[in-house]
Amino acid sequence: WDFTKFPVSNMARELLTKMHHDPLFNVMDINQSLYKKKTLNTVKELRIQLFHLKKYISTCGSSKGLLERLEKLPLHIIDQPHVYSMHDFMSVKKKELNAILEPYVIANAAHISQCQLCRLKGFICEICKSETLIYPFEILTCYQCDDCHTCYHKRCKATLDSCPKCARIKR
């Protein structure tokens, strides 16, 4: 996470300039410990939220404007939450990407909480049976099973070793 400028050859500078906006760097493959940097971790969380939010917004007939706004972002920002370009890293460092993404998360989450159709796609935690709906984009409080995609409260799932729905399916 070093942004120090170093002298390079003209050919290297040209190559770096050409690939500046290309999403080539998957943090999960390169160095997951980069997410220990608060600014990068914050952007990661926002991007993961947008990844889940887009699934709701893209299937809602009354959220066309929100979807059009989301589609103005570079495709990899939402669809590949761990992939970055050099430009993205620079924007993270300057805290610009955070400032760009946060309003998208707020607006889309607000739509989902108010839209009758989107609310129907929420989950009820099978463990505590609370009637309060939970959504996969609520990453601080919601756990989503990688296999069956059912959502649980993180605090509820922490009491179990495996996913109850997956266990039922296996029986």
Are both 22 and 85 inside the same structural domain?
yes
Q: How many domains does the chain have?
A: 2
- What does pTM read for this prediction? 0.90
Of the two residues 101 and 159, the one the predictor is more confident about is 101
Residue 4 lies in a domain: no
Residue 1: the pLDDT is 82
Residue 73 lies in a domain: yes
Within 9-57, where are the H helices?
10-18, 27-30, 38-57
Q: Please provide the average confidence, as pLDDT, over all residues in the chain.
A: 95
Domain that holds residue 160: 122-171
Are both 59 and 31 inside the same structural domain?
yes
Are both 106 and 165 inside the same structural domain?
no
Beta bridge pairs of residue 26:
83
Are both 136 and 110 inside the same structural domain?
no
Residue 39 lies in a domain: yes
Of the two residues 40 and 2, the one the predictor is more confident about is 40
Are both 49 and 95 inside the same structural domain?
yes
C-beta separation of 10 from 17 below 8 A:
no
Q: How confident is the model at residue 64 (pLDDT cuts 50, 70, 90)?
A: confident
Residue 75: the pLDDT is 95
The arithmetic mean of pLDDT across residues 66-80, rounded, is 95
Q: How confident is the model at residue 157 (pLDDT cuts 50, 70, 90)?
A: very high
What is d(CA 47, CA 4) in angstroms, rounded to the nearest whole number?
Answer: 26
Q: Is the pLDDT of residue 63 over 90?
A: no
